[in-house]
Structure 1
Amino acid sequence: MAMLIDPARWPAHGTVFSHLVSDRSLEELHAFAAAAGVSPRAFDGDHYDVPVERYDDLVARGAEEVSGTELVRRLVASGLRIPAAQRSGKLDKVLIQRFNRLLPGHSPLEREPVVADLLGRWSQPHRHYHDRSHLLAVLKAIDLLLRHGEECGRWTRSVKLAAWFHDAVYIAAPERAPGQDEEDSAVLAETTLSELGLPEAEIEQTSRLVRMTAHHQPRDPADRAGAVLSDADLEILSRPRGDYGRYLSAIREEFAHVPDPDFAAGRAAVVQSLLDSRPLYRTRTGARFWEKAARRNLSAELHPTSRHWTP
């Protein structure tokens, strides 16, 4: 076990707080916190905020005392650290700026209700993975692909708008037909972008791309816009161990209503389908940067007793 705690120096609610983290896994962190009686509400993405009166008890239970600098250094090295820009306080500002840049010819009065509705959808409490952090990650992955020479022709804005809408409707209930969330998201895109007065061809392209994310299989090898969006959405599969483990935990939380055996069977089918995709990434950049790591992560998840890491 590698539990770390820094000095209680962070003021709030009339006291001061320490940060409790694990530099190995979130599962270990949650188990330690639960055993120590730390409220789940104290969890903030990659750490628990614990008041000074709990400090000595947590140290006695095995938490290692380290400086704040050392705690952050080891958390970053583990891959579990959530960058400041991805924390909820800054996410909205960053995302709003990105959305506004997509519609420079529209007034704030036109843009603000749309982005507010979208951010509200991406912030729904049942979302643990398909949230604003995922949205930002997809947008950043699109930017990376474009910087490395991938092209979408005249559909670059459609690809980015499709990223905004691709999980705008996310219910993931067992009674929902496969692909229904993507279909409803595409219809939302069509309605919203039509009201904004975007060209019909651009609306059709955006909604087509949203529907494509139901299977991540661009029908046409020449569909470069589809390849860019699909690869950006699947970039998470290539992340380092800590990020991939956090992704798996978040996905399980979103399907907490599904019994363990059913979830395991369904997840295994999804993972096998991804492994069967040849190639998994459709752009040259995605294949070069992400394919090998993604296949390693997926294989390790499907065969946890192998020599691959265990999430």
Structure 2
Amino acid sequence: MIYIDPPLWPAHGTYFSHLVSDASLEELHDFAAAAGIPRRAFDGDHYDVPQARHADLVSAGAKPVDGATLVRALIAGGLRIPARERAASLVHPLRRRWHTLVPGAEDLGAELLNRWGEPHRHYHDRRHLLQVLEALHRLGCSERPVLLAAWFHDAVYDGVPGADEEASAALAEELLPPVGIPPAETAETARLVRLTASHDPQPGDEAGMLLCDADLAVLGRTPAGYDRYAADVRREYRHIEETAFTAGRRRVLQSLLARGTGLYRTAAAEQLWGGAARSNLARELAALDAGGSRAGSGSGAGDGRG
């Protein structure tokens, strides 16, 4: 069942409703596509639709309900995004992690959290930072340069592959020495940040393999989680015309799938995420090749970055 709440949310000179499904994101995407709602209006577990569309969406089959009923429908269907995956709710848990990593450097931690919370970010935000840190924990990594590299690897994010990683590495080289990080650790942090531009560590580079695997752990999420990731990154690239973006995304997917079991460089990451990642990538590529509009099609990191 598709539900829509009243247009009560002000933005862009009008009011918006939320359009959701209590069954699947696939049902929601299919309904939206049939109604001519663009994918860029999707926000993780719902579509934001302007007041002018409310009546015709109800006529098309969306059930009008109040906001509380809509949320309950999302929860009942298992599609509600939990608070830990909403960037605004992660400041305090991330601040605690930073304090444990670099005690006494609260100002630097606050600056990094502000950067990760910039409004133009829709995937490369605090959720992604927490996910990478948690992935490193699951991989058994506790080395400070690797964890620092996770904090800095997208600290500068303007959507320019290569340039963003270089600027983030330079930022680490500038800001870490004043808070007492030794030169060798600073240099290793910056090296690892630069490595995330290619995700291609050399054999034997254990630190590099761990960071790159953690950065790509998102590919191995559940299908619904992967689809949210894909939609979020498409929003970051909303300035790219759909045909051009889809062509670029197809190349990225084909490149990642060509790695086969080499998608992840550590045995632990392959065991945790490898099978699911290849399934998600193949599913998205199949949808693109079919010209479909299902979750993930035409969406994702245009440059292949995690």
Instruction: Report the TM range for the smaller structure's normalisation.
Output: 0.7 to 0.9
Q: Is the 8 A contact 2:43 2:232 kept in 1?
A: no
**How far apart, in 2, do the equivalents of 1:270 and 1:61 lie?**
36
C-alpha spacing 1:270/1:44, structure 2 compared with 1 (3 Å): closer
Cα-to-partner distance string for 1:110-155 (whole Å, 9 max, x where unaligned)? 422x122212211222211111111111111111111xxxx56xxx
Q: Which aligned runs of 4 or more in structure 1 are off by greater than 4 angstroms?
A: 17-20, 28-35, 54-61, 64-70
Task: Give the secondary structure class of the aligned counterpart of 2:3.
Answer: strand
Identity level (%)? 48
C-alpha spacing 1:59/1:235, structure 2 compared with 1 (3 Å): same
**Which amino acid is the alignment partner of residue 76 of structure 2?**
R
Q: Which has the higher contact order (CA 8 A, sep 6+)?
A: 2
Q: Determine whether 1:193 maps to 2:180.
A: no
Q: Determine whether 1:91 maps to 2:90.
A: yes
Q: Determine whether 1:144 maps to 2:127.
A: no
Tell me the equivalent position of 2:280: 297
When normalised by structure 2's length, the TM-score is 0.76
Tell me the equivalent position of 1:21: 20
Tell me the equivalent position of 2:114: 120
When normalised by structure 1's length, the TM-score is 0.75
**Which amino acid is the alignment partner of residue 171 of structure 2?**
L
C-alpha spacing 1:310/1:95, structure 2 compared with 1 (3 Å): closer
Tell me the equivalent position of 2:223: 241
**How far apart, in 2, do the equivalents of 1:5 and 1:262 lie?**
32
Which runs of no fewer than 5 residues in structure 2 stay unpaired?
11-15, 297-306
Q: After superposition, where does 1:268-287 map in structure 2 within 5 Å?
A: 268-277=250-259, 278-287=261-270
Task: Give the secondary structure class of the aligned counterpart of 2:45.
Answer: coil
Tell me the equivalent position of 2:76: 73
Q: Is the 8 A contact 1:237 1:244 kept in 2?
A: yes
Tell me the equivalent position of 1:111: 106
Cα-to-partner distance string for 1:152-203 (whole Å, 9 max, x where unaligned)? 6xxx111111111001111124xxxx41111110010111101112111111
Q: RMSD in angstroms over aligned alpha carbons? A: 3.3
**How far apart, in 2, do the equivalents of 1:257 and 1:48 lie?**
19
Q: Is the 8 A contact 2:149 2:193 kept in 1?
A: yes
Task: Give the secondary structure class of the aligned counterpart of 1:169.
Answer: coil
Q: After superposition, where does 1:59-70 map in structure 2 within 5 Å?
A: 61-64=60-63, 69-70=72-73
Q: After superposition, where does 1:7-18 map in structure 2 within 5 Å?
A: none
Q: Is the 8 A contact 1:122 1:132 kept in 2?
A: yes
**How many corresponding residue pairs?**
275
Q: Is the 8 A contact 1:4 1:71 kept in 2?
A: no
- Give, in angstroms, the shift of residue 261 of structure 1: 2.6
- Give, in angstroms, the shift of residue 281 of structure 1: 0.8
Cα-to-partner distance string for 1:245-272 (whole Å, 9 max, x where unaligned)? 2222222222222222321222222222
Q: Is the 8 A contact 1:5 1:71 kept in 2?
A: no
**Which amino acid is the alignment partner of residue 83 of structure 1?**
P
